[in-house]
Structure 1
Amino acid sequence: MYVIHVDVVYVLLYSEAMDKVLTVKNEKFWSLPGGKREHQEMLNQAAVREVKEETGLDVEVSDLLHVSEKVINEEHVTFITFRGEIIGGEMGTTDSEIQEITWKTIAEAEAPMPYLGNIRELLKNKAHYGVETS
């Protein structure tokens, strides 16, 4: 059986002042902003692009917070979650799949995204992410 490998990146945007996490809703599910990496795109570039498309916000991404994987039909999917910081932009979307963008409390965010586990614990994680250039 031939299986396609797919990388999906997410960005955890946490507001300490509000104690909330930015979430998006597509046709079926709530998630963190993110999506599939495109051909020859670095993971961090995909994360920045996906957040912009789904939320209208410009972000910087830093540490890796969470990695998981799952086989879904013919795809072996690796899910990579980065820590992000909003550096500009205005809330809104150019992605036709996104139906809602909202800040949720951590408890509200964890309920529809149990695969992330404890978001407060994730916020303590810090794995270095780097891009080799030569």
Structure 2
Amino acid sequence: MKRLLAIELQKIWKNRASRILTISYFVILSFIALIASIKFDIGNFKLHFAEMGIFNFPYIWHFNTYIASILKLFLAIVIVSMMANEYSYGTLKQNLIDGMSKKEFILSKFLTVILFAFTSTVFVFVMS
């Protein structure tokens, strides 16, 4: 299982677009925490989200999960490109030639998707 995950994560990390999308997903979610410390003063208009109560418990959970659900599009693009790149780069044939079974191939994709989902869930939980 570790070997299958290592192979898939290496393929994703070596692809520049996948790396940028994955990092940007977590960075943009991290910026939500910074919004609390920023006070916007534009003339007479003053805006401080923390004082408005948006970062109180029930609201922050709804807000973070809503923003994370929008940003899941980044991870979805990574997953779709992960499958599409197997055919365009010829790594599917190479994996099968090197002895990986079709079951292991599908399992590695499934485990990678599960890892992305688990990591994203834990990250949103910690941020909230």
TM-score > 0.5 by shorter chain: no
Q: Give the number of the structure whose residues are more often strand, by fraction.
A: 1
Between 1 and 2, higher relative CO (CA 8 Å, sep ≥ 6) is seen in: 2
State the TM-score, normalizing by the size of structure 2: 0.24
